[in-house]
Amino acid sequence: MNEIKTRFAPSPTGFLHVGGLRTALYNFLFAQKNKGEFLLRIEDTDQTRLVPGSDQQIIDLLDKFKLKRDNNKIIYQSQRLDIYKQYAEQLVDSGNAYYCFCQESSLNKIREQQKKDKQPPGYWGPYRQCHKLSIEEVKKRIANNESYVIRFKMLPNNNELKQKDAPSQWTDKIHGNIAVSMEHQDDFVMIKSDSYPTYNFANVIDDYKMGITHVIRGEEFLSSTIKHIKLYKALDWQLPTFAHLPLLLNPDKSKLSKRQNDVAVEEYLKQGYLPATLINFIALLGWNPGSGSTEEFFNLPELINDDFNFSQGQIKNLINEFSLDKINKSGAVFDLEKLDWLNGWYIRNLKFNKLVDLCKPYLSQIKNRGLLEKIIHIERERIKKISDISQNIDFFYKEKIDYKPELLIWKKSNKKETLENLVRLEDFLITLKNQDFDKIENLETKITDWIKKNNYGVGDILWPMRVALSGQQNSPNPFEIAWVFGKKKTIQRLNKAQNKLK
């Protein structure tokens, strides 16, 4: 058997979509698993939609996610116009394609007529005008500088009537047998009037020329595949295996939003989702290992090597586990809650120094390294993404914190009792040593023992303590904050709270 070859073929028309990353990942995994090759092709033939720099952005992202290409040479379609032209001419010569001189105005007329006739739009059947032009006519019009496109003939002339209603069959690796009615198939454009090829044409030529054995891509291309198959047949080329990945859905089962912030991979990285999390999450969008478990951890060895504290076997190697047979055809739900949960899990497993490096850009206001590390230490249990680290932490480093005195009062308690409790607590903390503040657990034991011994209400003491230290309704627990502050600053804050209540 031939060596397996896959490719990722993005159009550089903007940001990389999470669906695009999934396509790249699955192509990479399938090639790696089968010791084949994974190639990159930039489909930059739609000159009107090009976004300068987006090709490089895609390349950088693939590097970031360690989706290594097996050949450094990246194919750019815009540099291969001669090749497409040559094959287009060959198809014209063999009667499978033709020059079409219909301009926008006549195409509009055709559309209007089709509307009237209640027929689907497209350049097909009786609505076509140029498919029977003689060679002389074509030559004359080209010599006259008339603008033209080259169209593919979906039904070759002589078969036209016989095949009219016949469906064409093909088999998709994921969706199974697909039957397509040939009745209204558009004689699609292969070469545009700007002499660039269309996606449908260049895509097939390149997949063949590059020796691609498996075309793995999103379901949105499923309906175009019949065009590709007809092209392969007209050129007498062997078909690759096609595998169309299931759609990505919102939790309400609608098609995943196209808004940039919701789907741009770059945006997720900016918010502090780890590359390792995204790969694990995206791997499971449509594929599952079939073990029945939904909470399994899979990754690329290269992505989790040094940065995490994982034990041997805690994370399965995606490359070994992956197979095309385990891809579902039903849509895959993009569940942000699950992504958050998974990211929290990966963050908690990061090596501490690595976590500090990642958090630093979000905490540039904190200059003191000791304080920075302590904050990260206690916040790491709570954060879902790295950018969360900067939320609600001002009280750690601001000299003055602002809050209403009433916030200090626990449930049914009152001002007077709260003040008494804060004074008692302060008196007790004064008796502790500085070192008693060096370990959270130690401090916690000391304070809770004291509460028990004196039969105080836990909330009556700990609630005002927490608010006095943080000024917030929600914050880390009071032992953690007191540990960050140390004895002196803790007592200062308790003092200030007392003043507020007086």
Residues that bind ligand GLU (CB under 6 A): 9-11, 43, 199, 203, 217, 221
Q: Report the nearest approach of ligand GLU to the CB of residue 277 (Å).
A: 24
In the bound state with ligand GLU, the residue whose beta carbon lies nearer, of 70 and 183, is 70
**CB distance 3 to 36 below 8 Å:** yes
Helix, strand or coil for residue 170? strand
Q: Give min distance, CB of 55 to ligand GLU, in A.
A: 12
Separation between Cα atoms, residue 209 and residue 197, nearest integer Å: 15
CA 436-438-439 angle, to 5 degrees, is 90
Other CB atoms closer than 10 Å to residue 105's CB: what's the count?
7
CB-nearer residue toward ligand GLU: 240 or 344: 240
**Which tokens belong to 9?**
């073929």
Classify burial at 216, counting beta carbons within 10 Å of its beta carbon; exposed 0-12, middle 13-18, buried 19 or more: buried
Nearer to ligand GLU, 214 or 500 (CB): 214
State the Cα–Cα distance between residues 110 and 184, nearest whole angstrom. Answer: 14
243 vs 300, beta carbon nearer ligand GLU: 243
- Measured CA to CA, the distance from residue 7 to residue 68 in angstroms comes to 11
Q: How far is the CB of 243 from ligand GLU (least distance, A)?
A: 11
Q: Which is nearer to ligand GLU, 222 or 276 (CB)?
A: 222
168 neighbors 229 (Cβ within 8 angstroms): yes
Which lies closer to ligand GLU via its Cβ, residue 210 or residue 401? 210
Q: Which is nearer to ligand GLU, 10 or 272 (CB)?
A: 10
Cα separation of 284 and 200, whole Å? Answer: 29
Can you point out the beta strands (E) in 313-435?
A: 316-317, 332-333
- At 49, give phi and psi (nearest 5°): -105, 0
- Using CA atoms, how far apart are residues 472 and 485, in angstroms rounded to an integer? 16
Confirm if 317 and 301 have CB atoms less than 8 A apart: yes
Q: Which two tokens stand for residue 309?
A: 């504290």
CB of 173 to ligand GLU, least distance (A): 14
Please state the closest distance from residue 8 (CB atom) to ligand GLU, in A.
Answer: 7
Nearer to ligand GLU, 210 or 423 (CB): 210
Q: Return d(Cα 250, Cα 256) in angstroms, integer.
A: 5
Q: How far is the CB of 43 from ligand GLU (least distance, A)?
A: 4
Q: How far is the CB of 12 from ligand GLU (least distance, A)?
A: 9
Question: Could you tell me the smallest distance in angstroms from the CB atom of residue 90 to ligand GLU?
Answer: 22
Smallest distance from ligand GLU to CB 287, Å: 17
User: How many C-beta atoms lie closer than 10 Å to residue 273's C-beta?
Assistant: 23
Pick 128 or 244: Cβ nearer ligand GLU: 244
Task: Tokens for 292, please give them.
Answer: 């029945």
- Closer CB to ligand GLU, 213 or 490, in the complex: 213
CB of residue 50 to ligand GLU, shortest distance in Å: 12
Length of the chain, in residues:
502
To the nearest 10 degrees (0 to 180), the angle between helices 225-235 and 81-93 is 70
- Which tokens sit at 22? 């999934």
Closer of 220 and 302 to ligand GLU (Cβ): 220
Q: Please give the C-alpha separations between residue 297 and each of 78, 278, 301, in angstroms, as whole numbers.
A: 40, 12, 12
Between the CA of residue 261 and those of 25, 26, 57, 71, 109, what are the distances in Å? 21, 23, 16, 32, 40
CB of 336 to ligand GLU, least distance (A): 24
Q: Which amino acid is residue 158, in one-letter code?
A: N
Q: Compute the least distance from the CB of residue 64 to ligand GLU, in Å.
A: 20
How far apart (Å, rounded) are the C-alpha atoms in residues 100 and 147? 9
Rg (Cα) of the chain, in Å, rounded? 32
Cα 75 from Cα 80, distance rounded (Å): 9
The nearer residue to ligand GLU, 9 or 378, going by C-beta atoms, is 9
Q: How far is the CB of 279 from ligand GLU (least distance, A)?
A: 19
Cβ proximity to ligand GLU, 102 vs 210, nearer residue: 210
Q: Tell me, what amino acid is at 409? A: I
